[in-house]
A and B are shown apart, each in its own frame.
Chain A
Amino acid sequence: MWYYAARRILMSIPIALGVSVICYTLVLLSPGDPIQALLPPDATPEEVAFLKRAYGFDKPIPVQYFYWLMRAISGDLGISLQTNRPVFTEVMGALSNTIVISVGAVLLAFSLAFALGTIAAYNAGRPADKIATGIAVVGVSIPNYWLGIVLVIIFAVNLGLLPASGMGTKGSTNFDIFDWEQARYAILPILTMSFVPLGIIMRTTRSAIAEILNQDFVQMLRAKGLGPLAVLRHATRNALPQVLTVMGLQLGYLVGGSILVETIFAWPGTGFLMSKAILTRDVPMLQGAILLLAVTFVTINLLVDLLQTAVDPRIKRA
């Protein structure tokens, strides 16, 4: 197992490198000259040439990439054009906020989806199954940026129960999810975010448990006279590793794809940061956020994979 773990970790290095190449290429392809952006429009050619050399833009592209990569590894992703602060600190600060709502959403989705999926699998083909499956399809089909707006209309505009956007007075520096005054702000984003993972985890649960219920050992349990609850206990325990894996992957997707939900709720996470960077054409910020998010996603996938190997003895990979 350690052997597999070592291999899996080594294998994610080229992937991370590839990710950095893509991030770098995207900026290369983006319209606009980075030097022009830094200088006043009336700069002399000498000034332009000087700055080019200073930034290493006169070197061949692979060399430039290498410099950029070295700086990125040391945590230097440049300075945000908008805030004049290091991109790295900005993104890392926002990342914790994104993780708060992503984890919240995935936990909410998991608890609901696992229950629904179990019920659906146990009642396969009956109305309960159809209702649960219907909920799952709605979950993955609903545009969450619209769902967010609808929830705001209901809970903030009409009922006035919850705040429509932002993170409250204390802001993100010492956000405490266990303080109701602040947690209120996270409720709608979490609810909105949980729909897609709800649908996907529920489908996984349903098929995993349905498959287990069809296996011989379950027939055996039934033959021994175990009641439905006891049988389900066996089935859920066997399905859990698979469902948890999907849940972990969903967490990665939420963290990486939080931009839409965060934009709606002005939740100061990485997505909101990117959204602002796009509007202001803050390229260093955008690039840094994309790189860090992609690396986070790769890391989450890696951890999920390793945990799965550790938890599930049946997986023995060569």
Chain B
Amino acid sequence: MKPMAERDFANPLPINTADRGGRQQPMLLVQSLKKHFPVKSGLLQRQKGAVRAVDNISFSVLKGETLGIVGESGCGKSTLARLLMHLITADACTLVFDGDPVSEIRGITLRDLRKNMQMVFQDSYSSLNPRLPIRNTIAYGPVVHGMAKSDAERLANDLLNRVGLRSEIYGARYPHELSGGQKQRVNIARALALTPRVLILDEAVSALDKSVEAQVLNLLNELKRDFNLTYLFISHDLNVVQYISDRVLVMYLGQVVEIGPVEEIYGNPRHPYTRALLQSRLSMNPAERVTEPPIGGDPPNPINPPSGCRFRTRCIFAEGVCEASQPTLDAVTGDRHPAACHMTDPMSGHTKAAA
């Protein structure tokens, strides 16, 4: 199931020795991250409400792990990625990068954060400048950060070779001369150009053919090992997430509903939404044929999310308590596999709550 080495700490690598906080310090601590997009309408464009794209999310990313983030489309996965990169400003957030708070007086600056954390975009068509040879696209970041142009181009060539594109053939090419998989390799090379420690992969392989997807996934695994990277792997593809992740975070309507080690999430899901999501995967075994959809309907409107538990409108176990109060993720503290469901909290009053 997992050809890559299980978090190979024994193998010391020359890259990124800037480990400040020590091994136990999480790479990334995200606390109460929130982003509401205002919805305006009417003659005077008054604010009528807000899309709660990301609503009070907290989690941490450990050093060297791959944290998979799954959820239906529109649940706020991509907004989360862009918020972490500070491409859009959060309404509220505390971000601690390897022990250093970001954008505070004593912490690290946004510029430093971006050097340490990079992102690979989903759409390989629009994520590369069509008027720029790919070598220049990769070299852009280092040049902006003060590297000499010739050095940056040499680095770009090295990275192109590293991601499997021979620089002397491909370096001068334009994006439209590359295939989708090749473009995604360039995307990865660009993200690596600033020698980051964290890579956010936002649906990085979703648009690729299955065979190309597998190649890129293998490349990602190699790079992670060689450059000592930490991944945030965002995808709606449950199989891919299972393959690549160490831990998995499940999102629903802008909130985290469950987080835990990959074997736990896939083997013993605790939240009914996770369960439904996993059941929606098609099985190769004809005996396990699915005849009814595990979840009905569309996700509710994020402008006016349901009260209490946001999943209750589609949940078969919904009870009065689910409408009355919102389940929290850390109801049971110290759990390595918490789920935001009243059924997991013995004190909640849900009839099915595990005693």
Cα–Cα distance between A10 and B45 once the two chains are bound (Å): 13
Q: Mark A65-91, 1 if CB is under 8 A from B, else 0.
A: 000000000000000000000000000
B41 within 8 A of A: yes
- Please tell me if the beta carbons of B41 and A10 are within 8 angstroms of each other in the complex: no
Chain A residue with minimal CB distance to B41? Answer: A318
Cα–Cα distance between A7 and B42 once the two chains are bound (Å): 9
Q: Which 4 residue pairs are nearest across A and B when measured between Cβ atoms?
A: A7-B43, A318-B41, A10-B43, A6-B43
Cα–Cα distance between A126 and B283 once the two chains are bound (Å): 54
Cα–Cα distance between A4 and B49 once the two chains are bound (Å): 21
CB proximity of B42 to chain A, nearest CB, Å:
9
Q: Mark A1-21, 1 if CB is under 8 A from B, else 0.
A: 000001100100000000000
Q: Which residues of chain A have C-beta atoms less than 8 A from B43's C-beta?
A: 6-7, 10
CB proximity of A8 to chain B, nearest CB, Å:
11
Chain A residue with minimal CB distance to B40? Answer: A318
CB proximity of A65 to chain B, nearest CB, Å:
26
CB proximity of B159 to chain A, nearest CB, Å:
42
Q: Mark A244-270, 1 if CB is under 8 A from B, else 0.
A: 000000000000000000000000000
CB proximity of A164 to chain B, nearest CB, Å:
53
Q: Which residues of chain A have C-beta atoms less than 8 A from B41's C-beta?
A: 318
Cα–Cα distance between A10 and B41 once the two chains are bound (Å): 15
A-B contact count (CB 8 A): 4
CB proximity of A9 to chain B, nearest CB, Å:
11
CB proximity of A214 to chain B, nearest CB, Å:
22
CB proximity of B47 to chain A, nearest CB, Å:
15
Q: List 4 A-B contacts (CB under 8 A).
A: A6-B43, A7-B43, A10-B43, A318-B41
Cα–Cα distance between A211 and B43 once the two chains are bound (Å): 34
CB proximity of A294 to chain B, nearest CB, Å:
25
Interface on chain A toward B: helix, strand, loop, or mixed SS?
helix
CB proximity of A141 to chain B, nearest CB, Å:
31
Cα–Cα distance between A6 and B42 once the two chains are bound (Å): 11
Binding site for B on A (CB under 8 A): 6-7, 10, 318
Residues 148-197 of B contacting A (Cβ, < 8 Å): none
Q: Which residues of chain B have C-beta atoms less than 8 A from A318's C-beta?
A: 41
Q: Which residues of chain B have C-beta atoms less than 8 A from A6's C-beta?
A: 43
Chain B residue with minimal CB distance to A3? Answer: B43
CB proximity of A277 to chain B, nearest CB, Å:
40
CB proximity of B184 to chain A, nearest CB, Å:
31
Chain B residue with minimal CB distance to A11? Answer: B43
Cα–Cα distance between A7 and B45 once the two chains are bound (Å): 11
CB proximity of A184 to chain B, nearest CB, Å:
51
Cα–Cα distance between A273 and B43 once the two chains are bound (Å): 40
Q: Which residues of chain B have C-beta atoms less than 8 A from A7's C-beta?
A: 43
Cα–Cα distance between A318 and B43 once the two chains are bound (Å): 10
CB proximity of B303 to chain A, nearest CB, Å:
15
Residues 34-48 of B contacting A (Cβ, < 8 Å): 41, 43
Chain B residue with minimal CB distance to A7? Answer: B43
Chain B residue with minimal CB distance to A10? Answer: B43
Chain B residue with minimal CB distance to A318? Answer: B41
CB proximity of A20 to chain B, nearest CB, Å:
23
Cα–Cα distance between A136 and B41 once the two chains are bound (Å): 42
CB proximity of A284 to chain B, nearest CB, Å:
37
Cα–Cα distance between A7 and B43 once the two chains are bound (Å): 6
CB proximity of A318 to chain B, nearest CB, Å:
7
Q: Mark B108-148, 1 if CB is under 8 A from A, else 0.
A: 00000000000000000000000000000000000000000
Cα–Cα distance between A10 and B44 once the two chains are bound (Å): 11
CB proximity of A13 to chain B, nearest CB, Å:
12
CB proximity of A149 to chain B, nearest CB, Å:
47
Q: Mark B54-70, 1 if CB is under 8 A from A, else 0.
A: 00000000000000000
Cα–Cα distance between A123 and B78 once the two chains are bound (Å): 46
Cα–Cα distance between A10 and B43 once the two chains are bound (Å): 9
Q: Mark B15-43, 1 if CB is under 8 A from A, else 0.
A: 00000000000000000000000000101
Cα–Cα distance between A246 and B41 once the two chains are bound (Å): 29
CB proximity of A19 to chain B, nearest CB, Å:
22
CB proximity of A278 to chain B, nearest CB, Å:
41
CB proximity of A16 to chain B, nearest CB, Å:
18
Cα–Cα distance between A170 and B154 once the two chains are bound (Å): 84
Chain B residue with minimal CB distance to A6? Answer: B43
Cα–Cα distance between A55 and B43 once the two chains are bound (Å): 39
Q: Mark B263-294, 1 if CB is under 8 A from A, else 0.
A: 00000000000000000000000000000000
Cα–Cα distance between A318 and B45 once the two chains are bound (Å): 11
Cα–Cα distance between A34 and B41 once the two chains are bound (Å): 48
Q: Mark B88-99, 1 if CB is under 8 A from A, else 0.
A: 000000000000
Q: Which residues of chain B have C-beta atoms less than 8 A from A10's C-beta?
A: 43
Cα–Cα distance between A6 and B44 once the two chains are bound (Å): 12
Cα–Cα distance between A318 and B41 once the two chains are bound (Å): 8
Cα–Cα distance between A317 and B188 once the two chains are bound (Å): 40
CB proximity of A316 to chain B, nearest CB, Å:
14
CB proximity of A288 to chain B, nearest CB, Å:
33
CB proximity of B30 to chain A, nearest CB, Å:
34
Cα–Cα distance between A166 and B43 once the two chains are bound (Å): 49
CB proximity of A114 to chain B, nearest CB, Å:
37
Cα–Cα distance between A10 and B42 once the two chains are bound (Å): 13
CB proximity of B79 to chain A, nearest CB, Å:
22
Chain A residue with minimal CB distance to B43? Answer: A7
CB proximity of B38 to chain A, nearest CB, Å:
15
CB proximity of A162 to chain B, nearest CB, Å:
52
